[in-house]
């Protein structure tokens, strides 16, 4: 089990994410997907593990700045943190190149944990068949390297427990959904985290309230939403 670094979430999972699992984290904009992924990476760095962040949107400095704003000092682990920026259009052009280059980079630094944040842009560039092939390629690379990974993605507009294209959750071993729950238009919404699936783990399926604070995500695993 690899701890996510979020106490309440680890409790929901009975300890953490099983080693070698690929877990999708889906939610709409601003629900804390990136922050959850950063917790997972920071926990690994503190444990002395080599960690990699594959980013499509942001450069290394802005990732480090984001982490700092929620109380994580990634910079002091910069020797173990490897940020790889991928150009979505380039991956779209050649999955073969990804398949030949990425394992080499992973091998050269001995990556144990990975965060892919976010795969949404890449998902939009493929048609259904291509999208499956792209996700399967990432899966193959991660599984061959024995990496434990979190992949973030946009949720379906109307179904927060489903990814936008409804494919990622089948390719992954686990799915965590971050959702905004509104009692009424006038009330402040509650954020709810739900473990939708986690292969080989007996987990709770009850959505639990969480908050994003100056020290990152806090999941209240003992509390009920309403």
Pairing of strands 190-198, 81-85: unpaired
86 binds, among ligand ATP, Mg ion, none (CB under 5 to 8 A by kind): none
Min dist. Cβ of residue 58 to Mg ion (A)? 8
The item of Mg ion, ligand ATP, none sharing an interface with residue 213, based on CB under 5 to 8 Å by kind, is: ligand ATP
CB of 115 to ligand ATP, least distance (A): 11
Tell me how far, at minimum, the Cβ of 157 lies from ligand ATP, in Å. Answer: 13
Which of Mg ion, ligand ATP, none binds 214 (CB below 5-8 Å, type-dependent)? ligand ATP
Evaluate whether 37 touches 54 at the Cβ level (below 8 Å).
Answer: no
- Closer Cβ to Mg ion, 145 or 163, answer by number: 163
Q: Judged by CB, which is closer to ligand ATP: 145, or 175?
A: 175
Burial zone of 26 (CB within 10 Å; 0-12 exposed, 13-18 middle, 19+ buried): buried
Q: Which residues contact 191 (CB under 8 A, 6 or more apart)?
A: 31, 32, 178, 179, 180, 181, 209, 210, 211, 212
Shortest spacing between CB 12 and Mg ion, in angstroms: 21
CB-wise, 85 or 97, nearer to Mg ion? 85
Q: C-beta of 143: minimal distance to ligand ATP in Å?
A: 25
Helices (H), 94-172: 95-109, 120-124, 128-145, 168-171
Paired residues of 194 in beta bridges: 177
Provide the token pair at 176: 């965590």
From the list 155, 157, 158, 160, the residue with the least C-alpha distance to 123 is: 155
The residue whose two tokens read 């942001």 is 58
Interface with Mg ion (CB under 5 A), residue from 4, 31, 34, 111: 34
Q: Which of Mg ion, ligand ATP, none sits in contact with 216, Cβ below 5 to 8 A by type?
A: none
Q: Which residues pair with 193 in a beta bridge?
A: 178, 208
Nearer to Mg ion, 34 or 148 (CB): 34
Compute the distance between CA of residue 224 and CA of residue 26 in angstroms, rounded to an integer.
21
Give the range of 5-13, 29-37, 61-69, 205-213 binding Mg ion by CB under 5 A: 29-37
- Asked if residues 78 and 68 have their Cβ atoms less than 8 Å apart, the reply is no
| Rg of the chain (C-alpha set) | 17
The binder of 212, among Mg ion, ligand ATP, none, by C-beta within 5 to 8 A per type, is: ligand ATP
Residues contributing to the site for ligand ATP (CB under 6 A): 27, 29-35, 69-70, 212-214
- Contact positions toward Mg ion, by CB under 5 A? 33-34
């Amino acid at each position: 089990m690899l701890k996510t670094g979020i106490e309440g979430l680890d409790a929901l999972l009975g300890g953490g994410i099983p080693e070698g699992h690929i877990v999708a984290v889906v939610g709409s904009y601003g629900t804390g997907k990136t922050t959850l992924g950063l917790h997972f990476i920071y926990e690994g760095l503190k444990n002395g593990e080599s960690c990699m962040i594959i980013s499509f949107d942001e450069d290394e400095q802005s990732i480090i700045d984001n982490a700092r704003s929620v109380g994580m000092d990634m910079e002091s682990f910069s020797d173990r943190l490897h940020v790889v920026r991928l150009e979505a259009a380039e991956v779209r052009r050649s999955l073969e190149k990804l398949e030949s280059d990425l394992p080499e980079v992973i091998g050269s630094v001995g990556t144990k944990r990975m965060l892919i944040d976010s795969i949404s842009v890449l998902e939009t560039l493929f048609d259904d068949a291509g999208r499956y092939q792209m996700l399967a390629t990432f899966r193959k690379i991660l599984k061959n390297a024995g990496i434990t990974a979190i992949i973030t993605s946009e949720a379906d507009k109307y179904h927060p427990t489903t990814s936008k294209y409804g494919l990622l959750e089948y390719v992954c071993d686990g799915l965590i959904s971050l959702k905004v729950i509104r009692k009424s238009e006038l009330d402040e919404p509650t954020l709810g985290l739900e473990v939708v699936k986690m292969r080989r783990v007996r987990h709770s399926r009850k959505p639990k309230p969480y908050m994003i604070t100056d020290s990152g995500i806090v999941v209240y695993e003992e509390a009920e939403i309403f």
